[in-house]
A and B are shown apart, each in its own frame.
Chain A
């Protein structure tokens, strides 16, 4: 709901003065309603991206290929001076996730909604310039200052929104199609320090334990009216966190004993079966990367051809 309202407001301010008002207002409202409709349910699952990654059809793609292609696309999107790179990635990545990955559009939008609502707040901050006198297209007087939207701030905001949308879609596609163990595997092949890799594997494993223990404790506290008012709320949260931490440490030391009795002496070896690289995958990856790099480069070479 918040995302929808925010996106409507941002879209209105972005295109204010570029489109006539009678066309702009219905367009913004349609956009808001669309986002609100696609983003209806909320489940209480913190790690829903991880679950979706396990069932995605794209997790059969070689993780090294996938990650490098998406990272290059992401970087060229952030570096480019035109809104088109971001818009292109937004569309292409959505198609990849939904058509190739077999993810439902509704899930995809829900995953994107959270970062986008952050983005919208950040964009509001960029859209308004603070000054002592009114300037530009629209100005509001707030406590003696003027908050104004100018064509310059609109251009900056549009560029930032498009870059962030494109990059966030790539990030979400990485998260939605690559299980964490494969990402860590890629980092290991990049010669990330061994200690850090071990730490990452262990942290990933412990996340699930802590989250499930936390869910039990939170429900127990809730059923005893533990979150009734602010005072109680802080108290129960503190109690839950401290017993969560102490319980997790007991667990960790038991875990260590178990590992030691199985000859652990520092250093953990994990088996990996990286998927083979297919020809079709390479073609798609090369197309994606070259399109992004091309858009990015052309935004530097041909600034007049591309607005913003």
Chain B
């Protein structure tokens, strides 16, 4: 059977593929979660194992915090619910597609990366079972990118900027945006490790995945930064009192 296509047929195909990719742009922005079954089992296990020490650290911190101050548990639960809600709702996006925040940058700035890892894990489990978004076998990989790597970077950047006496709000914005961007880079890298390209290996494949998601994820990271700043500004004027237990100090933020 000859599979040679005429030039016209090839063009039609090319147009249809471009059309499909273009149409698909709104959907990847739903979140950078690796879906159920997409990763081979060995990678699921490896990423899961990598996450364990962070989770253990998170549980230890969480237990200590909730023993010292039972009120904080309620506050944390509300923050977890908040992360779930904002990461499953649409936010404005430049390309006209719908996109969602990760929300973990905000939580990392407020509570630190240890607690954020647990909150992120719970949110991921809820998203998998309630929204069929993400997955249970890919939970480890998703937790690593969204609940561990992103928040740690956001937290480190925020602390670094604060030490350098950069304006706090600016620091929060940049930290949240870069945390989001890192989440997306880590996910692309995880996909590339599992599916290296035939020619060029892991790096070529990583570039491919980065390119597929870049048009939505880069503007999304910027919007996430802006929104995080807006949320913090709103919080300062409304609810500074409730935040006494958290590591974020509103008094300081107001003075800088």
Give the interface of A toward B (CB within 8 A). 2, 5-6, 9, 13, 16-17, 20, 46-47, 49-50, 71, 74-75, 77-79, 86, 111-112, 114-115, 117-122, 124-126, 128-132, 137-138, 140, 150, 152-153, 156, 160, 163-168, 170-172, 174-175, 178, 180, 183, 193, 195-196, 198-200, 202-207, 209-211, 214, 227, 230, 233-235, 237-239, 241-253, 255-256, 259-260, 264-266
Nearest residue in A to B90 (C-beta to C-beta)?
A237
**What 3 A-B pairs have minimum CB-CB distances, sorted nearest first?**
A242-B234, A238-B230, A167-B37
**Known A-B contacts A125-B208, A171-B135, A238-B234; A244 and B199 likewise in contact (beta carbons under 8 Å):** no
**Which residues of B in the span 103-136 have a Cβ within 8 Å of any Cβ on A?**
118-119, 122-123, 125-126, 128-133, 135-136
Interface size on B, residues (CB 8 A): 89
Contact of B126 among A156, A202, A203 (CB under 8 A): A203
B166: CB under 8 A from chain A? no
A7 to B54, CA, bound (A): 38
A199 to B133, CA, bound (A): 21
Contact of B85 among A16, A129, A207 (CB under 8 A): A207
A241 touches B26 (CB 8 A): no
A119 to B38, CA, bound (A): 8
13 further interface pairs, Cβ-Cβ under 8 Å (given A2-B23, A6-B23, A203-B126): A5-B23, A46-B89, A49-B130, A124-B21, A152-B198, A171-B128, A203-B77, A204-B126, A234-B223, A235-B230, A242-B238, A252-B242, A265-B70
A203 touches B36 (CB 8 A): no
A122 to B138, CA, bound (A): 14
Contact of A207 among B5, B81, B231 (CB under 8 A): B81
A241 touches B231 (CB 8 A): yes
A140 touches B227 (CB 8 A): no
A165 touches B94 (CB 8 A): no
B200: CB under 8 A from chain A? yes
Nearest residue in A to B137 (C-beta to C-beta)?
A78
What 0/1 readout, one digit per residue, does chain B (203-232) give for beta carbons within 8 Å of chain A? 010011100100000000001001101111
Q: Which of B59-67, B141-149, B152-160, B178-186 contacts A (4 or more CB under 8 A)?
A: B59-67
B59 touches A210 (CB 8 A): no
A153 touches B36 (CB 8 A): no
B239 touches A246 (CB 8 A): yes
CB distance from A116 to the nearest CB of B (A): 9
Contact of B70 among A77, A128, A239, A266 (CB under 8 A): A266
A249 touches B242 (CB 8 A): yes
A195 to B76, CA, bound (A): 11
Q: Which residues of B contact A255 (CB under 8 A)?
A: 74
Q: Which residues of A contact B91 (CB under 8 A)?
A: 237
Nearest residue in A to B61 (C-beta to C-beta)?
A195
B13: CB under 8 A from chain A? yes
Q: Which residues of B contact A175 (CB under 8 A)?
A: 128-130, 132
A111 to B239, CA, bound (A): 37
A196 touches B21 (CB 8 A): no
B247: CB under 8 A from chain A? no
A128 to B17, CA, bound (A): 11
Q: Which residues of A contact B82 (CB under 8 A)?
A: 210, 244-245, 248
CB distance from B171 to the nearest CB of A (A): 17
CB distance from A128 to the nearest CB of B (A): 8
A42 to B85, CA, bound (A): 19
Q: Which residues of B contact A211 (CB under 8 A)?
A: 85
B24 touches A117 (CB 8 A): yes
Q: Which residues of A contact B1 (CB under 8 A)?
A: 20
B71: CB under 8 A from chain A? yes
